[in-house]
Amino acid sequence: MKNERGSAMLVVLTLTILIATLVVVNSFELSRLRGELKRIDHEQQKKFAPAAAKN
């Protein structure tokens, strides 16, 4: 019984660490994508701003 409890605790701990790792990786990836989106938005504004001003 004690061995089963220890095994279950190890599984729960492993899954918790895996989920925490995924959260951290996703956070960094979202931050990187946010920066990429800002860069693309800035390029699009520079590209289309003069055309909009002429019309």
pLDDT at position 54: 61
Note the pTM of the prediction, 2 decimals.
0.66
Burial code (b: 16+ CB inside 10 Å, e: under 16) for 32-52 equals eeeeeeeeeeeeeeeeeeeee
pLDDT at position 23: 98
Alpha-carbon dihedral of residues 10, 11, 17, 20, nearest 10 degrees?
A: -140
pLDDT digits (tens, 9 = 90+) for 6-55: 899 999 999 999 999 999 999 999 999 999 999 999 999 998 887 666 65
pLDDT digits (tens, 9 = 90+) for 6-17: 899 999 999 999
